[in-house]
Amino acid sequence: MIVRQGTARDWPGTGRLRGWLVLPLALCLSLGGCGISRQILYSPDPVSATEPAWIGPAPQSVDVRTSDGLVLEGLYWPASKGSNDDIIIFFHGRNWTLNRSGRSAQYLAGDDMAVLVASYRGFSGNAGHPSERGLLRDAAAFIETARSLAGPKARVWLIGHSIGAAVAMHAAAQDGHVNGVIAMSSFVRVQESAPRIARAFIPDDWDNLAALESLSIPLIVIQGGLDRFIAPDSGDTLFSAYHGPSSLVMGVNARHNPDMEVLAPWLHQAISTMRSGSLESLPHPPAGWVEKVRRP
């Protein structure tokens, strides 16, 4: 059963900002370098931003080892009360750093949920170079670490933003035992964010529809109505293609980077609902956000 709260035409949207993917085409043509185009695709900042002024206790630093031997830094907040059975892994997007990601994810830390902030190869001082295959190895390592931190009753929840949303969906499909995914500001396929002439030169697929084919866990898709980087119908496409419990939530005046201080309390409530494997009792989103459609 699908519970509809609105339709696509009820919601504002803007065109995609495609210019950032034009340069890889020129570079591949002139230099033959897909390694260079990956640098443009992911735009990894090799130096982590200055440590934020945390709103609460500072996170612990954790080292995470990947299957190919890289050591990545992560940030970890244990649950402040009770057990760490529920643990959220937060995957950031293009051009972000670990500390910038932590600044957003800190609002997710709470009494009954632990939070682990992931980083990627080539980002924030980590060794290596980003690629789709590499980032999925990184995600697998963070999932393994999360289970180790949470213990034998671990419930693992993945939250990803932009390219991080693709990492979350693909990592959940690859792992097979993740409990739920929240995808924020997610494209359908990364090539579709580029001009047609450039699509053949984008070296990684990030086909989120393919990832969803392997999932049946609860999925919440969150999209900003004023997002200039993601096609305005991306959320509708992802929701329509998925057959498991799912919800599509729109921030009417939200842009590409959602306000986590506003969303985090609702995300906690949403995850509590997702524990049952259903979205039947999903609470109303906060002011400024509207649930467009739900498949409980």
Identify the pLDDT of residue 44. Answer: 92
- Could you give the domains of the chain? 16-45+58-295 (3.40.50.1820)
CB atoms within 10 A of CB 241: 14
Strands 114-117 and 71-77: antiparallel
- 90: pLDDT confidence band, cut at 50, 70 and 90? very high
pLDDT over 70 percentage in the chain: 86
Distance CA 57, CA 34 (A): 42
Q: Which two tokens stand for residue 184?
A: 């924020």
Identify the pLDDT of residue 36. Answer: 64
Over range 155-166, report the average pLDDT.
Answer: 98
Distance CA 119, CA 101 (A): 9
Identify the pLDDT of residue 25. Answer: 45
State whether the Cα torsion 194-228-116-243 is positive or negative.
negative
CB atoms within 10 A of CB 265: 14
pTM: 0.89
Task: Pick the range with the lowest mean pLDDT from 83-87, 89-93, 190-194, 265-269.
Answer: 190-194
* 207 contacts: CB under 8 Å, gap ≥ 6: 189
Identify the pLDDT of residue 49. Answer: 63
CB atoms within 10 A of CB 43: 15
Mean pLDDT of the chain: 88
Of residues 277 and 112, the one with the higher pLDDT is 277
pLDDT at 21 over 50: no
Over range 123-145, report the average pLDDT.
Answer: 97
Task: Pick the range with the lowest mean pLDDT from 4-18, 63-77, 79-93, 216-230.
Answer: 4-18
Task: Pick the range with the lowest mean pLDDT from 8-22, 102-116, 260-274.
Answer: 8-22
**Tens-place pLDDT, residues 29-68:** 444 455 668 888 899 987 766 788 899 999 999 999 999 9
- 106: pLDDT confidence band, cut at 50, 70 and 90? very high
Over range 59-85, report the average pLDDT.
Answer: 95
Q: Which two tokens stand for residue 243?
A: 């057959």
Which residue reads 């924020």 in tokens? 184
Identify the pLDDT of residue 48. Answer: 64
Task: Pick the range with the lowest mean pLDDT from 14-28, 135-149, 235-249, 267-281.
Answer: 14-28
